[in-house]
Amino acid sequence: MIKQLSALLDKEFDPGFEARARFIFQLIHKNKPKYVLDAGCGRGFYSHAISFFSFIKKIESFDINESYLELAMSHCTDKRIHIQKANIFRLPYPDNYFDFIIFSEVLEHLSNEKKALQELRRVLKSGGKIALTVPNRSFPFLWDPLNWFLMNFFNTHISKDVWWLAGIWADHIRLYSVEDLLRFLNKQSFKIKSQKNIIHWSWPFAHFILYGVGKNIIERLGIYSVSRFEFTTQSMITRIIARIMRFPSSILDKRFPTSSSVNICVVLEK
């Protein structure tokens, strides 16, 4: 992986996000696509980050959230990146256009998951790849104890709209088990090239610490050195905190693997 992206991931506080991004960057580095679609680009992190790969000729990015798109446009200044508002169910791209699609943490938000995959398949070239990641329904107890307890004992969870407490359910319509996800994907005429689970062990209430508290403090205080779009500032404090947050997974995941994980990552091929 190129130096700038490794440096960026070294200071990422969220071990789940760090592992997902590493998964995507390594796939792009391996496949060297020329035309990439960032589907549901949000604030533009992946669009900006993969612009450091010189072999990419064009990055098309879209989202439905206008406030996110404004931020994405301010972050993504590379001329190869084109950002627009679009609906994933009616994509403004020709058939068989992209070599690679980033589809990370989007499927769980959509009302019609089948139609979204059909549209992505339409715009993907034959032999093209999709890097798909979703939250795992079988997430670790320590990651989000409150929702884990409610789901396992009362078959319920915190409302997805209670953003500061919803935990792994924040803004999510559904979570996926590995079995249900692979069964669904097999019906969409894709080849499943590989599947892996990431992040088994974490600090207690990691999701709440990172997003219920930490994200809001960082955004309100405007701490630039921990921004995911800051590729140059490498403060010792941010790197130390990032290592502390990754410590349980880095030490225990390989030694004591479990069937639960924070995320499911899948590589699809048309």
**Residue extents of the structural domains in the chain:** 3-269
Residue 224 has pLDDT above 50, yes or no: no
pLDDT of residue 122: 98
**Mean pLDDT (the chain, rounded):** 91
pLDDT of residue 157: 97
Residue 239 has pLDDT above 90, yes or no: no
CATH number assigned to the domain with residue range 3-269, chosen from the 4 options 3.10.20.30, 3.40.50.300, 3.30.450.20, 3.40.50.150: 3.40.50.150
Confidence of residue 221 (pLDDT cuts 50, 70, 90): very low
Cα 18 to Cα 249: distance, rounded to the nearest angstrom:
11
pLDDT of residue 215: 59
Residue 173 has pLDDT above 80, yes or no: yes
Residue 220 has pLDDT above 60, yes or no: no
Among 58-62, 166-170, 230-234, name the one with the lowest average pLDDT.
Answer: 230-234
pLDDT of residue 3: 78
pLDDT of residue 223: 47
Cα 39 to Cα 226: distance, rounded to the nearest angstrom:
24
Residue 112 has pLDDT above 70, yes or no: yes
Other C-beta atoms closer than 10 Å to the C-beta of 31 total 16
pTM of the complete model: 0.93
Q: What is the mean pLDDT of residues 12-20?
A: 94
40 Ramachandran zone, left/alpha/beta (phi>0; psi -120 to 50): left
CA 26 to chain centre: 14
Residue 234 has pLDDT above 70, yes or no: no
Confidence of residue 268 (pLDDT cuts 50, 70, 90): very high
Cα 128 to Cα 99: distance, rounded to the nearest angstrom:
5
Percentage of residues in the chain having pLDDT higher than 70: 93
Tokens of 31: 């496949």
Cα 34 to Cα 100: distance, rounded to the nearest angstrom:
8
pLDDT of residue 25: 97
Helix then strand count (H, E) for the chain reads: 10, 7
Residue 8 has pLDDT above 90, yes or no: no
Residue 116 has pLDDT above 80, yes or no: yes
Among 14-18, 212-216, 250-254, name the one with the lowest average pLDDT.
Answer: 212-216
pLDDT tens by residue, 174-208: 999 999 999 999 999 999 999 999 999 999 999 98
